[in-house]
């Protein structure tokens, strides 16, 4: 197994969280290098694409969250070998990345502009995203997206849905998932209750 160092912000969520969970689920040893928000400006220009997460693999670096998720998913046995099933996993992860970017683009707005932008997202793009992702979950059997088992698609979706339901996003209703995609709300609880994921967050006091 290669020596792995994952670098991401020091909180339990965001684009780096699925990678952490994949390694934990797979029993893969890694260094969880967490960066405080105040230290990010000084680090940004020293990263390949001015972004995180980054994964160091035996001294070599790869970036981009879904690239990292696919790589680690393969190491952890959480990524399909079948090409079509793998494409379905990629579709879910890329869709989650799209809506994450749209919400992320509101973070630096002033209060009035943020309220307007997030209310617009909550009125259309987020419900559509949730409904389309729920449709893919239904197509996979209703419990998992593909192969009737946990994959990195489920983990990536879990992190996103947990964020939407957390109440941390002002002007986006905390019940937006339950209202528009109740099956995804159940999926969140299913992933959350996985013994290894439950143990991971319990160990972190979450």
Digit-coded pLDDT (tens) for 130-153: 999 999 999 999 999 999 999 999
The mean per-residue pLDDT over the stretch 152-167 comes to 97
Instruction: Evaluate whether the domain defined by 4-77 bears CATH number 2.40.30.170.
Output: no
DSSP string, the chain: ---EEEEEESSS-GGGHHHHHHHHHTT---EEEEE-GGGHHHHHTTSTTS-S-EEEETTEEEE-HHHHHHHHHHHHT-S-SSHHHHHHHHHHHHHHHHHHHHHHTTTTS-HHHHHHHHHHHHHTHHHHHHHHHHHHHHHTTSSSSBTTB--HHHHHHHHHHHHHHSS-STTS-TTHHHHH-HHHHHHHHHHHTSHHHHHHHHHTT-
- Out of 1.10.8.350, 3.30.2090.10, 1.20.1050.10, 2.60.40.420, select the CATH number for domain 83-194: 1.20.1050.10
Domain extents for the chain? 4-77, 83-194
**Banded pLDDT at 206 (limits 50, 70, 90):** confident
Digit-coded pLDDT (tens) for 29-84: 999 999 999 999 999 999 999 999 999 999 999 999 999 999 999 999 999 999 99
């Amino acid at each position: 197994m290669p020596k792995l160092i994952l670098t991401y912000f020091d909180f339990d969520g965001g684009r780096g969280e699925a990678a952490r969970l994949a390694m934990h689920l797979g029993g893969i040893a890694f260094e969880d290098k967490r960066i405080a928000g105040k230290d990010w400006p000084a680090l940004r220009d020293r990263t390949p694409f001015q972004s995180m997460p980054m994964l160091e693999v035996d001294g070599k670096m790869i970036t981009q969250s879904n690239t990292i998720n696919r790589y680690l998913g393969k190491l952890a046995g959480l990524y399909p070998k079948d090409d079509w099933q793998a494409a379905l996993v990629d579709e879910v992860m890329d869709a989650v990345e799209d809506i994450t970017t749209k919400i992320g683009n509101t973070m630096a707005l002033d209060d009035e502009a943020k309220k307007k932008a997030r209310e617009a997202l909550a009125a259309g793009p987020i419900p559509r995203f949730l409904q389309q992702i729920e449709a893919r979950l239904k197509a996979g059997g209703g419990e998992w997206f593909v192969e009737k088992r946990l994959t990195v698609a489920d983990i990536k979706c879990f992190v996103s849905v947990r964020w939407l339901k957390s109440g941390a996003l002002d002007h986006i209703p905390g019940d937006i998932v339950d209202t528009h995609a109740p099956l995804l709300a159940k999926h969140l609880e299913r992933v959350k209750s996985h013994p290894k994921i439950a143990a991971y967050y319990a160990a972190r006091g979450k």
